[in-house]
Structure 1
Amino acid sequence: MQDDRSSLDGPRVVLLAGGAGGSTFAVGLRDVLVAAGGSLTVICNTADDLWVHALRVQPDVDSMLYGLAGVKDAERGWGRAGESERVSHELREWGLGWDWFALGDLDLGTHIARTSWLRDGDGVGAVVERLNRRWELGATLLPMTEDEVDTFVELDDGTIHFQEWWTRHRAKREPRGFANPGIESARPAPGVLEAIAEADVVVLAPSNPVVSIGPILGIPGIAPAIRAAKAHVVGVSPIIGGSPVRGMADVCLRAVGVECSATGVAGLYGARAAGGLLDAWLIAEEDAAEASRVAELGIHPVVTPLWMKDVALTRTLAADALAAAVPR
């Protein structure tokens, strides 16, 4: 983690993240880095984006934006605090919209601004940068790509958008697999590869490894850039005691044939020494018995508390992730 910069500078950290858990972890990591004089760049999943009412909605980007801005609804874990849904109710009176995907009024303001800028010709990266200016985030937020690469869920009777499967059906319908049409020709958003190349540490957040982190790594050029980076690569397990911390990662892992365990997800990412991504992997105290299995993969296991039940615990976890990045 040493270069020609002043020793007073803290580490430059790149975080790959998506979802509510990813935004919670990002806030703790931002806080630790700000105190240390470091910097944080978040590469955010955009594969759960969709068009609603002719508006481009980016759930993971907005969850990250609201979380870093301190305006996220802490009780729900997503959306804006102090939200109302009068517009969504009115749209349903006109026969529009879905009962299972109501957009809040404040949230709609974000989607209208985003879509307006997109219609004016701004790229997704420029739009996210404009959204960044609204609040003092203490971090730089980048989309994984400017191309539309939505996630679709393959079921026995057809294919549906990820948001319908996740939000409407609560992942109760067993998936056969997941698809990201167009991902093979997508390009990393401006600044993504540069941030990885310049990073001192790359962290994989405790986000869903299949539908949040997976699409980011699936953008051509991103995974190879991480493998080639001078940075130490650390991941935080989204599995505690054999179960996902939140969400339905177990269903997603089963669909891709991966064991729902800290070791299973570590194996999915792989050891950088063996052509994978990870140098170190944080696993929960509840999974301490798996440390030897993780080590057998060629990944350094770090056993530490993973529950992000409050701000202090989240900051401690973030500090543990940075400590794991110190070369041994």
Structure 2
Amino acid sequence: MSAAPRVVVLAGGVGGSKFVLGVREALRRRGVADTAAALTVVVNTGDDVWLSGVRLQPDVDSITYALAGVNDAERGWGRAGDSERVNHELQEWGAGWPWFTLGDLDLGTHLARTGWLREGLTPAQVIERMSHRWPLGARLLPMTDAEVDTVVVLEDGARLHFQEWWTRHRATLAPARFENPGIETADPAPGVADAIAAADVVLLAPSNPVVSIGPILAVPGLRDLVRTTTAQVVGVSPIIGGKVVRGMADVCLTAIGVETSASAVAAHYGARASGGVLDAWLLAEEDAALADEVAGRGIRSLVAPLWMTDAARSAAIAEAALGAAGL
């Protein structure tokens, strides 16, 4: 049997969680017994936030819970079967955000994380400790150990934390731009550079290109790591038939002047041969007519079914992405 491919995925959000599950399953179907040694996930931490004295890492937790099989698949976030007694009590005290629900089990995660951070552990060390609870079948790394949040600057100049803009206002307030205060002095988290350098393939999950993948690539030095790796870099379109699959990524794309189309997002990432990060791009069947347009940008285009409606289809998408890298 040939050696297991070394896979690095850049991911965030619900789309990232589903895709990572698919990659793990695709590796298992290839006979890879130790998927944790083969699969590294570099997770967006740009939407992290301090709330009621605890540090929340929504994307880290979504991917962790999904890999552990304890996520609330219907809501797309949090733990399955969670209760909200503590959240209601916080609201009675006028603490936290009444529009931002924290489940009791979820709060246990946040409290454990915050305690470890207060003891001096780094975010990367905290995630490693968290991963010991469940057999995740993947190694999770934060994009950086630095504290970098996402701020949404509205057209009137008002500034909101991303979570307030996204969760409370459902992205209905027109953004002028997105900022990540502190990212200029951040570094890739320990292990990220080595994982990308040793990878056989780097996959960009079908996550929000602006607020999930964008902050990862904005960490100083990380984009260059992707551009200079010897591995093939393959992206999976988060746009199907000219529409976002989930969430409000179209609002984010419009704010940075990118059309909501599979071809435009591929152009946003850019061809590695022209200073971008992509070698190949997976398009949905609904966007097959855009394949030549993508190829004309110097990016190999491949067409596949991209609806991640169940584990089998997510695994098939991941297999197509691995195949696009010649693996």
Normalised by the length of structure 1, the TM-score is: 0.96
- Indicate the residue corresponding to 1:216 in structure 2: 216
- Indicate the residue corresponding to 1:204 in structure 2: 204
Partners of 1:34 and 1:178 in 2: CA distance: 38
Displacement of 1:184: 1.0
- Indicate the residue corresponding to 1:33 in structure 2: 27
Q: In structure 2, what residue type is equivalent to 1:224?
A: D
- Indicate the residue corresponding to 2:233 in structure 1: 233
Partners of 1:51 and 1:131 in 2: CA distance: 19
- Indicate the residue corresponding to 1:113 in structure 2: 112
Moved more, 88-97 or 236-245: 88-97
Displacement of 1:97: 2.0
Q: What are the within-5 Å matches in structure 2 for residues 233-252 of structure 1?
A: 233-252=233-252
SS of the residue 1:258 aligns to: coil
Percent of pairs with identical residues: 64
Partners of 1:156 and 1:307 in 2: CA distance: 34
Correspondence 1:185 to 2:179: no
Displacement of 1:77: 1.3
The CA deviation string for residues 35-91 of structure 1, in whole angstroms up to 9 with x for no partner, is 322511000000000001110000000001001111000111111001110000011
Displacement of 1:32: 1.1
Count residues in correspondence: 321
Partners of 1:34 and 1:122 in 2: CA distance: 32
Q: In structure 2, what residue type is equivalent to 1:61?
A: V
Displacement of 1:117: 0.2
Partners of 1:215 and 1:8 in 2: CA distance: 35
Displacement of 1:273: 1.0
Contact 1:34/1:138 (8 A) holds in 2? no
Contact 1:155/1:173 (8 A) holds in 2? yes
Q: What are the within-5 Å matches in structure 2 for residues 95-110 of structure 1?
A: 95-110=94-109
Displacement of 1:31: 1.2
- Indicate the residue corresponding to 1:60 in structure 2: 59
Partners of 1:123 and 1:97 in 2: CA distance: 24
Structure 2 gap ranges (5+): none
- Indicate the residue corresponding to 2:42 in structure 1: 43
Q: What are the within-5 Å matches in structure 2 for residues 1-328 of structure 1?
A: 8-36=2-30, 37=32, 39-157=38-156, 158-326=158-326
SS of the residue 2:175 aligns to: coil
Contact 1:237/1:281 (8 A) holds in 2? yes
- Indicate the residue corresponding to 1:3 in structure 2: none
Displacement of 1:258: 0.6
Partners of 2:176 and 2:218 in 1: CA distance: 19
Q: In structure 2, what residue type is equivalent to 1:112?
A: L
The CA deviation string for residues 191-210 of structure 1, in whole angstroms up to 9 with x for no partner, is 00000000000000000000
The CA deviation string for residues 95-133 of structure 1, in whole angstroms up to 9 with x for no partner, is 112221010000000000000000000011000100111
Structure 1 gap ranges (5+): 1-6
Partners of 1:170 and 1:99 in 2: CA distance: 15
Partners of 1:98 and 1:149 in 2: CA distance: 20
